[in-house]
Amino acid sequence: MQVTMTVNGAEVTRDVEPRQLLVHFLRETLGLTGTHWGCDTSNCGTCVVLVDGLPVKSCTQLAAMTSGHEVRTVEGLAGGAGLDPVQQGFMAEHGLQCGFCTPGMMLTARALLDRDPDPDEATIREAISGQICRCTGYATIVRSVRWAAEHPAAAATDQEVTA
Amino acid sequence: MQVPAPFDYARATSVAEALELLERHGEEARLVAGGHSLLPMMKLRLARPDWVVDINDVAELRHITEEPGRLRVGALTRHAELLGSEVVGRLFPIVHDAERVIADPVVRNRGTIGGSLAQADPAEDLTTVCDVLRAEVVIAGRDGERVVAMPEFHRGPYETACAQDEIVTEVRFPVRAGQGSAYEKVERRVGDWAVAAAGAALVLDDGGAITEAAVGLTALGLEGLAVEAAAVLVGQRPDEALFAEAARLAAAASAPVEDGRGPVDYKRHLADELTRRVLRTAAARAGALTAVQGG
Ligand SMILES: Cc1cc2nc3c(=O)[nH]c(=O)nc-3n(C[C@H](O)[C@H](O)[C@H](O)COP(=O)(O)OP(=O)(O)OC[C@H]3O[C@@H](n4cnc5c(N)ncnc54)[C@H](O)[C@@H]3O)c2cc1C
Ligand code: FES
Ligand code: FES
């Protein structure tokens, strides 16, 4: 069957098997391997992408169900203005070690900040509670998201610097 | 890599179209709402439909509507939408109690109330919530709509009154003046299914006496309400000794089984303790309690 969706701002149309999961559509059909794939059981959250702006576990959604919708993956985080403040926050506060959970964590953080630009620690911990990090102990992830909240214009500044 | 067995996919944009697709594709057609129970089961081949009928575009199923005397919630309403709804939290705080501990925020962006009730997992939380709130479920089929009370809707684990060619369209919650309600769950880790959970709803009259009571348990082997526990509450004024007696009766009515989440005696202890806690909170929320210690 044919699916059409917007991925990181660009419309894509592909022939897929109805049973193809969104995570495999992104990784294999589109080659966007920034979306990671881990537990396969809807638990770890490394496969999280934004669908219509909301974090969704892409191993538990069909590509077919996503047709007509808007998807944002980690590849779409950095814009023309440079890295997203969330990405800069993860760099500044050491929000990753192996990086396996990082794409999902950053997208959930982006969605949280879009809805609540100044979340406290409890709110951040709640927002990422469906995602597992085996490396950092979460403290640095929370600090990374706080960094992004405190530097909302970081990307614009970056652009000024590079322009 | 876990991938479902092959199937064909169809998308419905109205209840009528979904019913028509279910009828056309017969026995092996299944609805998909949030997909967070169905797709995991399909990956494990515990479900193997030939057709999947996607109802996510059926806008008429996605609403929260306040009416005099009742709240109507469309079957496609997501967990996150229930949790985000001011009116739901004001009228039925038990729903927010439960939603805060159903899965995790990302799963809650997809999972729906209709899918949860239709799935009828033995550890599913909203069935207990709907039981104690004496909700009704609206089921649409070829011959029109019928409204069934929760005891009739929920027949047991993985079994409901909704036939394969029917659709749950709505859940209706009666609004009772003087009602307080609460839910509490023990889970092994954040986002997990219940080891055990309890829910309660109490209606107090102006004099502070209990006029209606409902107690339900989740993942504890009790189908429907704990009727003996509710019976001792009605006509009494809320106090600790009364709650202890009701909790003892709820625990006695439970029939937990040992599994990876804990042994029988631990789960029965939770039935008792969680029932006390939700009764205290429900009574306090009903507004008539000052003297009972919260917990
Ligand atoms: C990691 C994880 C943790 C979870 N933890 C919890 C938890 O702690 N507590 C809890 O209660 N739940 C939990 N869930 C389940 C979650 O709440 C699911 O969303 C829910 O069980 C099913 O809702 P759904 O919309 O995803 O249904 P789907 O998976 O789409 O459907 C489930 C079943 O219901 C049928 N169905 C769906 N909609 C309708 C309808 N309108 N009419 C008739 N039939 C319908 C489908 O055909 C299918 O058979 C968890 C799920 C996951 C993945
Ligand atoms: S791979 Fe999707 S939640 Fe783990
Ligand atoms: S950085 Fe390794 S899992 Fe999070």
pLDDT in tens, B245-278: 999 999 999 999 999 999 999 999 999 999 999 9
Is position B3 within any domain? no
CATH number at residue A115: 1.10.150.120
- Same-domain status, A50 and A100: no
Residue B287 pLDDT: 76
Model pTM?
Answer: 0.95
pLDDT category at B224 given cuts 50, 70, 90 is very high
- Same-domain status, B187 and B279: yes
DSSP SS3 for A51: strand
CATH number at residue A25: 3.10.20.30
Q: Quick one: CA dihedral A19, A21, A24, A25, positive or negative?
A: positive
pLDDT tens-place string over residues A78-110: 987 899 999 999 999 999 999 999 999 999 999
- Which among A25, A36, A46 is the best mutation to test ligand 2's pocket, defined by most ligand atoms within 8 Å of the CB? A46
Name the residue among B43, B110, B191 with its Cβ closest to that of A129: B191
Is position B91 within any domain? yes
Name the residue among B2, B52, B104 with its Cβ closest to that of A40: B2
Residue B89 pLDDT: 97
Is position A61 within any domain? yes
How many domains, chain B? Answer: 2
Is position A71 within any domain? yes
Of the three residues A76, A103, A131, the one that is the final residue of a domain is A76
pLDDT category at A153 given cuts 50, 70, 90 is confident
Is position A119 within any domain? yes
Of the three residues B140, B157, B174, the one that is the final residue of a domain is B174
Percentage of residues in chain B having pLDDT higher than 90: 95
- Same-domain status, A72 and A99: no
What angle in degrees, to the nearest 10, is found between the helix axes of A139-150 and A85-92?
Answer: 130
- DSSP string computed for chain B: ---PPP-EEEE-SSHHHHHHHHHHHGGGEEEESS-TTHHHHHHTTS---SEEEE-TT-GGG--EEEETTEEEEETT-BHHHHHH-HHHHHH-HHHHHHHHTSS-HHHHTT-BHHHHHHH--TT-HHHHHHHHTT-EEEEEETTEEEEEEHHHHEEETTEES--TT-EEEEEEEE--TTEEEEEEEEESSTTPPEEEEEEEEEEE-TTS-EEEEEEEEESSS--SB-HHHHHHHTTSPP-HHHHHHHHHHHHHH-----BTTB-HHHHHHHHHHHHHHHHHHHHHHHT--SSSPP-
CATH number at residue B272: 3.30.390.50
Q: How far is the CA of B277 from the centre of ligand 1 (A)?
A: 27
- Which among A59, A73, A100, A105 is the best mutation to test ligand 2's pocket, defined by most ligand atoms within 8 Å of the CB? A59
Of the residues A1, A46, A51, A65, the best mutation for testing chain B's interface (the one with the most B CB atoms within 10 Å of its CB) is A65
Residue A155 pLDDT: 57
Q: Which of B129, B157, B135 is nearest to B148 (CA)?
A: B135
- Same-domain status, A69 and A90: no
- Same-domain status, B103 and B71: yes
Using the beta-carbon criterion (under 8 Å), do B191 and A64 form an inter-chain contact? no
- Same-domain status, A89 and A33: no
- Same-domain status, B75 and B163: yes
Chain B CA closest to residue A105? B106
For the cut 70, the answer to whether the pLDDT of residue A158 exceeds it is no
Q: Distance between CA A58 and CA B106 in Å, rounded?
A: 10
For the cut 80, the answer to whether the pLDDT of residue B138 exceeds it is yes
Is position A158 within any domain? no
Q: How far is the CA of B97 from the centre of ligand 2 (A)?
A: 26
Is position A163 within any domain? no
- Average of per-residue pLDDT across B163-184: 97
- Average of per-residue pLDDT across A41-69: 98
Between B8-12, B20-24, B170-174, B186-190, the lowest mean confidence (pLDDT) is in B186-190
User: Does residue B32 have its Cβ closer than 6 Å to ligand 1?
Assistant: yes
Mean predicted lDDT score pLDDT of chain A: 94
- Same-domain status, A107 and A43: no
List of chain B residues whose C-beta atoms are within 8 Å of the C-beta of residue A21? 3, 39
- Same-domain status, A51 and A100: no
- What residue numbers bound the domain in which A15 lies? 2-76
CB neighbour list of residue A147: distance below 8 Å, 6 or more residues apart: A85, A88, A89, A92, A93
- Same-domain status, B120 and B99: yes
Is position B97 within any domain? yes
Using the beta-carbon criterion (under 8 Å), do A127 and B40 form an inter-chain contact? no
- Same-domain status, A67 and A89: no
- Average of per-residue pLDDT across B74-98: 98
Q: Distance between CA B31 and CA B118 in Å, rounded?
A: 10
- Same-domain status, A52 and A13: yes
- Same-domain status, B208 and B279: yes
Of the three residues B174, B199, B215, the one that is the final residue of a domain is B174
How many domains, chain A? Answer: 2
Of the three residues B147, B174, B201, the one that is the final residue of a domain is B174
Our CA-based measurement puts residue A41 at a distance from the nearest CA of chain B, in whole angstroms, of: 7
Half-sphere exposure of B259 (CA within 13 A, CB side): 14
Of the three residues A13, A46, A76, the one that is the final residue of a domain is A76
- Same-domain status, A72 and A25: yes
State the ipTM, two decimals.
0.94
Is position B18 within any domain? no
Mean predicted lDDT score pLDDT of chain B: 95
- Same-domain status, A64 and A22: yes
Using the beta-carbon criterion (under 8 Å), do B9 and A42 form an inter-chain contact? no
Is position B129 within any domain? yes
Of the three residues A36, A55, A76, the one that is the final residue of a domain is A76
User: Does residue A100 have its Cβ closer than 6 Å to ligand 3?
Assistant: yes
- Same-domain status, A20 and A39: yes
- What residue numbers bound the domain in which B143 lies? 63-174
Residue B292 pLDDT: 42
For the cut 70, the answer to whether the pLDDT of residue A162 exceeds it is no
- Average of per-residue pLDDT across A14-24: 98
Classify burial at B235, counting beta carbons within 10 Å of its beta carbon; exposed 0-12, middle 13-18, buried 19 or more: exposed
Say how many CB pairs under 8 Å bridge A and B.
80
Report yes or no: B198 and B274 within 8 Å, Cβ to Cβ.
Answer: yes
Question: C-alpha dihedral over B101, B104, B108, B113, to 10 degrees?
Answer: -40
- Average of per-residue pLDDT across B95-120: 98
Farthest CA pair distance, chain B: 62
Of the residues B42, B53, B106, the best mutation for testing chain A's interface (the one with the most A CB atoms within 10 Å of its CB) is B106
Is position B31 within any domain? no
Distance of CA B290 to the CA centre of its chain: 29
